[in-house]
Amino acid sequence: MFPPGYPASGQPPVVRPLWSLPGPALGALLAAALLTAPIGPLGSAIQRDLGLSTATMAATMVVPYAVAAAALVAPGHLLGRRSPTATAVPALLLLLLGSVVSGFVPNAAVMAGARVVAGLGAGAVLGVTLALSGQLGRGRSQTRLVLGLALGAALLLGPVATGILAQTLAWRWGLLIPVLPVAALALAVTALTGIIMWVQRTSRPSPPAAPATTTPFPSETRLGGPTRADNPPT
């Protein structure tokens, strides 16, 4: 309710089309897979190649990524509600950059820094995905259920896919091969859907401005405001 004397203006909630979700969602799935990737054979190969202990391995690969991602989920969600494309594209670029650098690191210190960068992008794109999934109108409950199942599957498949590549080729390729095509596809789809939404928004005719309606204070009617008795119909 609006208090008397104030404009009774309301803004409807934003409803976005389902096709605006796949780009950021694909990036969120990649982010989930990269979180658990060091748990499998990929992590063992990195630990052996860089000469890391188990504790150092966790502090280098897992903790920086998880902490950075957790720090940007909420900001990504808030920004993604208003500007999903402008938030998701830089997030995907950070995720891509950090993951590519991780494939060429010479030591644990550079690896930790690269994982922080990738984690920042992962958290932001996950926040955008959650924001978009809540703006889909009637199908948002089903969409969020499917998204949750897909994220769970990505957490499980991350160590498997990267582990197979690490054992077949090398651990550096285990990081690069899954990331490059998936991140590039997510970027392309996100940019394309963002352009389509922008064109639709700019081409839509703006509705005429309605005059602001106000509810008079009761004292205005009693003290000097016009009443129906003072102004009879003509």
Average pLDDT value for the chain = 85
Q: Which amino acid is at 125?
A: V
Q: Which of 71, 168, 177, 55 is nearest to 124 (CA)?
A: 71
Quick check: 212 pLDDT over 80? Answer: no
Lowest-pLDDT choice from 9-23, 48-62, 92-106: 9-23
**CATH superfamily of domain region 18-202:** MFS general substrate transporter like domains (1.20.1250.20)
What is the arithmetic mean of pLDDT over 148-169?
93
pLDDT at 101: 95
H helical segments located in the chain: 22-36, 41-50, 54-57, 63-82, 84-102, 108-133, 140-168, 171-203, 218-223
Q: Which of 113, 104, 122, 89 is nearest to 198 (CA)?
A: 89
pLDDT tens digit string along 111-156?
999 999 999 999 999 999 999 999 988 888 899 999 999 999 999 9
Q: Which of 29, 23, 26 is nearest to 194 (CA)?
A: 23
Q: For residue 97, count CB atoms less than 10 angstroms from its CB and return exposed for 0-12, middle for 13-18, buried for 19 or more.
A: middle
Q: For residue 168, count CB atoms less than 10 angstroms from its CB and return exposed for 0-12, middle for 13-18, buried for 19 or more.
A: exposed
Q: Residue 53 contacts by C-beta under 8 Å, 6 or more apart in sequence?
A: 47
Length of the chain: 234
Quick check: 223 pLDDT over 70? Answer: no
Quick check: 210 pLDDT over 50? Answer: yes
pLDDT at 140: 85
Q: Which amino acid is at 110?
A: V
pLDDT tens digit string along 4-33?
444 444 567 788 888 999 999 999 999 999
Residue 1: pLDDT band (50, 70, 90) is very low
Per-residue tokens: 215: 């509810």
Domain borders along the chain are 18-202
